[in-house]
Amino acid sequence: MASAYDNCIAWAERHMLSCPSKKLMHLDCPGCGLQRSTIALLKGDVQSSWHFYPPTLFIIATVVFLLLHLVFKFRHGAAAVKYLYIVAAIVIFINYIYKIFSNQLI
């Protein structure tokens, strides 16, 4: 079973999508690094995942909570999902601003 999982991760690494923003304008978009970060997370390497794209953990937490809310209908789940989306968007924005000021966009 582990071999099939490793094969899926290897396949994902070989078939990563290229960023249109990076390809056309030679600049990172606000989501650049998400694929590499997700693959690192699937490999169990949280530190590398955080290094590639810090918002990944916030995005995954938001999606997992959303799915749980859709299944279990939490009392204040809709409000919680809204706040989680806002937090994830803020983290994405802060990460992109950090990339701008630390000259990591290219």
pLDDT value, residue 2: 72
Average pLDDT, the chain: 95
Tokens encoding 6: 């490793």
Distance CA 83, CA 92 (A): 14
Distance CA 53, CA 28 (A): 12
pLDDT at 1 over 70: no
- Angle formed by the axes of helices 55-72 and 77-101, nearest 10°: 170
Model confidence band, residue 54 (pLDDT cutoffs 50, 70, 90) = very high
Sequence-distant (≥ 6) Cβ neighbours of residue 77 within 8 angstroms: 65, 68, 69
pLDDT tens for 58-73 read 999 999 999 999 999 9
Sequence-distant (≥ 6) Cβ neighbours of residue 93 within 8 angstroms: 30
Question: Mean pLDDT lowest for which of 11-15, 21-25, 48-52, 73-77?
Answer: 21-25
Model confidence band, residue 96 (pLDDT cutoffs 50, 70, 90) = very high
